[in-house]
Structure 1
Amino acid sequence: MEKTIFITGASRGFGKLWTEAFLKRGDKVAATSRNIEAYKGLAEQYGDQFLPIALDITDRDAVFKAVNQAKDHFGKLDVVINNAGYGVFGAVEEVGEKVTKDVFEANVYGTLWVTQAALPIFRAQGSGHVIQLSSVLGVWSLPTLGIYNATKFAVEGFSEALASEVKDFGIHVTMIEPNGYTTDFGGSYSVPF
């Protein structure tokens, strides 16, 4: 059955793989990234089945507009995948204030804003599925990844509560907790120290 999917951070890594797989399967996809140039080929190939949206997930107002734009374009939303985010490498003692605030803005608040924007739509429909991309590092920690771990622990915490809050509305919440996988996580996806 065809699904309508809104996915953040869809220009590379897991997001890109999933976006391409969903489109090939026949789903409708609203894919977000700060730079939508990466979507040019997909937009040409899939036409109205694909909606690229430029989005900075740390901008709450822009997030709400983007989620509603996708719903208006496709007429509904079945699945929201919170995939956007990045890592920070460095000992807890050495990671500075700005870097810490920035990664929390993206990984925690960005995920929260997208989730909050989707929930009224899902409640009105009587169905929906929120998929949060966490990490095995949201379950246990590693040295030099403490700040990144903290963001994923936060996503795990609010998502676990959310699952109980929305289950009676026909809304499901799933956590994806991948371990090491070949993406650019240790490269341009991360801030090293």
Structure 2
Amino acid sequence: MRTSSRVWFVTGASRGLGRAFTEAALAAGDRVVGASRDVSPLDDLAAAHPERLLALPLDVTDRQAVFAAVDAAVERFGRLDVVVNNAGALFTGMVEEFGEAEARAQLEVNFFGALWVSQAVLPRLRAQGAGHIVQISSIAALGGFPSTGLYSASKFALEGMSEALAAEAAAFGVKVSIVQPGGYWTDLYTSSTATTPDPAYDPLRAELEKQWAEGSVDSEPRLAAEALMALVDSDDPPLRLLLGSMVYDLAFDISRNRMATWAGWESVSRGAEKAVPAPR
């Protein structure tokens, strides 16, 4: 439970969910290091909270720059308490359409960026014997969906790394949580990068566009920020937190379907294992 002013380190802080997280932390009386490629959208918050907001230009794909930014954050505020890996990008396209540069760029931001930040802050949190790393994942980590396969891959990688990180950091009093949001009114989609379309997938694209037009309802980022505050205020935060009714229901549907498939193939699965002595 919250007892005093905390210090936050938020990536992707200048827009979308990151901006909402930054505003919520400042409203709670905390201090925030807001990191982003372009920090100019934070000028109004910096002017309103000159002693409690440090806006740091940062490209999270630059590992050296990430470590330097964490050093600067600690030099300014003396410690770190809540680290939110929110910076992300969306590359859309069918898996077959991705070139090497596009595929690597998707992983560089969503996975490696979070990895570098986690590595940079962990020595500080270990030394304190406390801290909370929050990894902003996605509904896309629940399963692979047409046209967002590489985005899902980046979030699957983030979650696999974060599960291991949580187990490794727990002995030092450091908590790790994975947040899986549904849709929010941010510029993630409008600022996304698309592959060059292959005409072979035109029918699928048309069907997807129809589904999105009929069933896409997003929420205010403020609601995600309220949920995040409840998470970091908890004495016993969960490893995973779903945000939104749609993503909550989808998570259970996907899990049930996977369990049903595993059960249907149980005999084959069990038949594939028989302990034998190590070969000489």
Structures share a fold, TM > 0.5? Answer: yes
Deviation at 1:152?
Answer: 0.1
CA distance in 1 between counterparts of 2:39 and 2:166 reads 31
Equivalent residue of 2:79, what SS? coil
User: Which one-letter code corresponds to 2:118 in the other structure?
Assistant: T
Q: Which residue of 1 aligns with 2:95?
A: 92
Q: Which residue of 2 aligns with 1:164?
A: 167
Query: Which 5+ residue runs of structure 2 have no aligned equivalent?
Result: 196-280
Deviations 1:49-96 (Å, cap 9, x if unpaired)? 110000000100000000111111001100110000111110000011
User: Which one-letter code corresponds to 2:138 in the other structure?
Assistant: S
Superposition RMSD in Å: 0.8
CA distance in 1 between counterparts of 2:20 and 2:90 reads 19
Q: Which residue of 1 aligns with 2:56?
A: 53
Corresponding position: 1:17 with 2:20: yes
CA distance in 1 between counterparts of 2:47 and 2:186 reads 25
Q: Which residue of 2 aligns with 1:185?
A: 188
Please point out which of 82, 90, 93 is paired with 2:85: 82
Aligned residues: 192
User: Which one-letter code corresponds to 1:80 in the other structure?
Assistant: V
Larger relative contact order (C-alpha < 8 A, sep ≥ 6)?
1
Corresponding position: 1:32 with 2:5: no
Deviations 1:8-37 (Å, cap 9, x if unpaired)? 001100000110111111100000111111
Deviation at 1:2?
Answer: 1.5
CA distance in 2 between counterparts of 1:32 and 1:138 reads 24
CA distance in 2 between counterparts of 1:165 and 1:22 reads 27
Deviations 1:121-151 (Å, cap 9, x if unpaired)? 0000010110000012112111110000000
Q: What TM-score, normalized to structure 1?
A: 0.97
CA distance in 2 between counterparts of 1:51 and 1:180 reads 28
Equivalent residue of 1:93, what SS? helix
Q: Tell which structure's C-alpha radius of gyration is larger.
A: 2
Corresponding position: 1:130 with 2:133: yes
